[in-house]
């Protein structure tokens, strides 16, 4: 599969809700890098179940982060972030849908404003606000 993807010569690779590490050969393949769409305001809730953990911990605001992928999971430079307030009726399913819709609207607005300009640059960040969001087992699907 890696050879097939290499023959296409992608300029960028985008992943969303993947929750696993990409192999080093894949990370270095596209000249513009690999980009991750992550359902939290990184560095909070780094990992495979950020929506559930934000609900469990009683957060009032969450969001979506677009970031360059680095070798450690969810640690690359942040390109864009969009915040979304929780609704009292939110559960993991409704929040996931609202995040997707809100971020799509945000991304479309940014695209119109920037016209693909070079102004979208990585932001420096620290791990001061890091909260891990490990895989959530099936018994917690009621969130």
Distance CA(138)–CA(88), nearest Å, equals: 23
Task: Give the per-residue pLDDT at 141.
Answer: 47
Q: Mean pLDDT for each consecutive 10-residue tract of the chain (143 residues)? A: 80 82 87 89 87 94 90 81 92 93 80 58 52 53 46
Distance CA 71, CA 111 (A): 28
- Classify residue 97 as exposed, middle or buried by CB count within 10 Å of its CB (0-12, 13-18, 19+): exposed
DSSP state of 123: B
Contact 65, 45 (CB under 8 A): no
Task: Measure the CA angle with vertex 80, ends 43 and 9; round to 5°.
Answer: 105
Give residue 70's pLDDT: 84
* Per-residue pLDDT at 7: 84
User: How much is the pLDDT for 136?
Assistant: 54
Full-model pTM = 0.72
Contact of 38 with 61, CB cutoff 8 Å? no
């Amino acid at each position: 599969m890696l050879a097939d993807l290499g023959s296409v010569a992608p300029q960028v690779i985008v992943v969303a809700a993947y929750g696993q590490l990409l192999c080093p050969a894949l990370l270095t393949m596209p000249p513009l890098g690999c980009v991750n769409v992550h359902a939290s305001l990184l560095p909070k809730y780094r990992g495979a179940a950020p929506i559930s953990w934000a609900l469990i911990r009683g957060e009032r605001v969450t969001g979506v982060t677009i970031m360059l992928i680095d070798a450690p999971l969810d640690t690359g430079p942040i390109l864009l972030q969009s915040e979304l307030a929780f609704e009292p009726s939110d559960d993991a399913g409704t929040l996931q849908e609202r995040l997707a819709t809100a971020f799509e609207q945000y991304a479309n607005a940014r695209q119109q404003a920037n016209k693909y300009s070079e102004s979208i640059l990585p932001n420096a960040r620290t791990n001061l606000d890091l909260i891990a969001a490990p895989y959530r087992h099936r018994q917690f699907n009621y969130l």
